[in-house]
Amino acid sequence: MTKLSITILNAQGETKSRTDGEEQVVLVYEEEYQSGDRIVFETEEANTYYVIRVDGAMDEAYVYLTEKRTEYVIPFDEKKISYNPACFTGERHYITMRKAREYENKSYRNLAENVMDHHEAAGCYPHAYANVETRGESVFAARNAIDGVVANESHGAWPYESWGINRQDDAQFTLEFGRPVNLDQICLYTRADFPHDNWWIQATFSFSDGSTEVVKMEKSVKPHVFTIEKKGITWVKLDHLVKAEDPSPFPALTQIQVYGWNS
């Protein structure tokens, strides 16, 4: 049996609440969060799959932990507007952690989605990052493109958060899986807040095995679906983004979905 724990720490590193258990733990924290608070998830067993819920208003995250400890800082102020306004509010918070079940580890799924991803998500995968995020604002962070929210007909606060490239022609988005995966399909929900937005007509996927795939896109609200079969992939990069001939300088990515299995 694997021992697990969930701890709430304040900005000074002092423990505000904690629960311990085996295979599954549940923490109901009955206080308002304060700036600097963070949730610490710990396990005896790294390099293993877990299912974690950081808030009762958020979906569970199916994640692969390569370290025995991962922290989640509670977002406040500007950093919170890319989340559902119900998240992290009030005086009662429902937090869970369990080992993933064998059927979950073998299932066909969106390998990209991780609702608990954030900039400092050490050892917790999948994880997204980019070489640019518009003005450093949370509503344009790379993590938004793997949070499971596909509303793409506007931009800004939740549910219209996206990855924004700040008009940068050499923008790159990287998705790390933390372990080898097999994939057969990639879907891109490009932002479609027309006429505010531009759109990409071409992009390149680069994979950890050294291969690349050039894809074509068009102006659309619907997802762009690409059949791409790869095995043993640990990361995928999206770059060489070519904008359409349109007055708007603002293309953006609402969501990337990568479908397949754990290798």
Q: How does pLDDT run across 20-60, given as a tens digit for each residue?
A: 999 999 999 999 999 999 999 999 999 999 999 999 999 99
The SS3 call for residue 155 is: coil
Based on the fold, state whether residues 136 and 238 are members of the same structural domain: yes
What tokens does 132 get?
């640019």
Residue 95's nearest CA partner among 175, 5, 196, 157 is 5
- Tell me which DSSP letter residue 105 carries: H
Neighbouring C-beta atoms of residue 32, cutoff 10 Å: 12
Same domain, 254 and 188: yes
Length of the chain: 263
Domain range for 146? 124-262
Residues 146 and 41 in one domain: no
| pLDDT in the model for residue 161 | 98
Contact in structure between 241 and 171 (CB atoms under 8 Å): yes
- Report yes or no on 118 lying in a domain: no
Instruction: Please choose, from the candidates 28, 39, 23, the residue with its C-alpha nearest in 3D space to the C-alpha of residue 100.
Output: 23
Predicted pLDDT at 122: 86
Tell me, what CATH number does 223's domain have? 2.60.120.260
Domain count, the chain: 2
Strand-pairing partners, residue 207, are 236
Calculate the alpha carbon distances from 199 to 5, 125, 152, 174, 225 in Å: 44, 28, 12, 19, 15
Question: Which segments of the chain have a pLDDT < 50?
Answer: none
Relative to beta strand 109-110, strand 173-190 is: unpaired
Give the DSSP H/E element, type plus range, for residue 229. strand 224-243
Do 174 and 92 fall into the same domain?
A: no
> Is residue 119 one of the residues assigned to a domain?
no
Evaluate whether residue 56 is within a structural domain.
yes
- Distance separating alpha carbons of residues 68 and 71, to the nearest angstrom: 10
Same domain, yes or no, for 133 and 43?
Answer: no
Tell me: do 224 and 152 sit in the same domain: yes
